[in-house]
Structure 1
Amino acid sequence: MQLDNAQTIHELTRCSDQYEHALAQNNVDALDALFWQGPQTVRYGVGENLYGAAEIAAFRRNRAGGSPPRTVLRRTITPLGTEAGVVSLEFRRDGSTRTGRQMQTWINTPNGWKILAAHVSIMAEQPETERPTL
């Protein structure tokens, strides 16, 4: 398996940029189009676990105002050959000091690259190693 395929990195960079633009604009149709439209698709959010493209789409349509604005701090793209890849991203929501994390598994389909699995989380105020034990 080739973990540094330049073409896959280029394509996933473009897809990740499209995702960030659609997220910032709360373009739910564009966001839906970037996800695999099947029951296998999973999105774990900051406050929800969503199974299947229909649940993900319903969540987006019911979230007032869309995702809070954010700045991307760091992005790593790891191709898994030419058929799949992982986009790992750190971000900070506007007005917050906490770091958010997002991981997306993308698959290359006949209809282009699609997100099959996604996970979004916000880091704790301090690492677990710095918290007092109970």
Structure 2
Amino acid sequence: MILDDQKIVEEITDLSDRYEQALGNNDLAALDGFFWEGPEVVRYGVGENLYGTEEIAAFRRARQGGSPPRKVLRRHIATVGDATAVVSLEFQRVGSQKIGRQMQTWVRTPEGWKILAAHVSIMAEKPETTAPQT
């Protein structure tokens, strides 16, 4: 098994950039196209748990104005073999001091790379524990 194949990292970086652009533009067709089509896909959002293509699409269409504008602070991409990648992203919504996090699991399909699982959260005001002293 090969981890972090540079060619695949570049492919996923491009897709992640395109996803961010579609999110910022509220391009519903493009956003739908990034996700796996079927009941297996899951998206946990800041305020919702969505199972399957239909629930994810319905959520996007019901959200007034789309996703709040955000700035990407940090992105890490890990690939596993030639058919799986995980994008971990930190962001900050415009006008907020809170840090958001997004993780996406991408899988290679005959139709191209698709998001099979996604999770979006906003960090709490303070950590639940104290960091260990080193």
* TM-score, length of structure 2 as denominator length: 0.95
Offset at residue 3 of structure 1 (A): 1.3
Paired residue secondary structure (2:129)? helix
1:55 and 1:78 mapped to 2: Cα distance? 27
Paired residue secondary structure (1:92)? strand
Identity, % of aligned positions: 65
2:122 and 2:80 mapped to 1: Cα distance? 26
Aligned to 1:4: 4
Aligned to 2:69: 69
1:2 and 1:122 mapped to 2: Cα distance? 32
Aligned to 1:56: 56
Aligned to 1:98: 98
Offset at residue 26 of structure 1 (A): 0.3
* TM-score, length of structure 1 as denominator length: 0.95
Paired residue secondary structure (1:117)? strand
1:87 and 1:123 mapped to 2: Cα distance? 18
Matched residue pairs, number? 130
5+ long unaligned stretches in structure 1: none
Paired residue secondary structure (1:9)? helix
Offset at residue 78 of structure 1 (A): 0.2
CA RMSD in angstroms, aligned pairs only = 0.7
5+ long unaligned stretches in structure 2: none
Q: Which runs of 4+ in 1 moved over 2 A?
A: none
Aligned to 1:46: 46
Offset at residue 65 of structure 1 (A): 0.4
Offset at residue 4 of structure 1 (A): 1.6
Aligned to 1:29: 29
2:93 and 2:26 mapped to 1: Cα distance? 15
Paired residue secondary structure (1:107)? strand
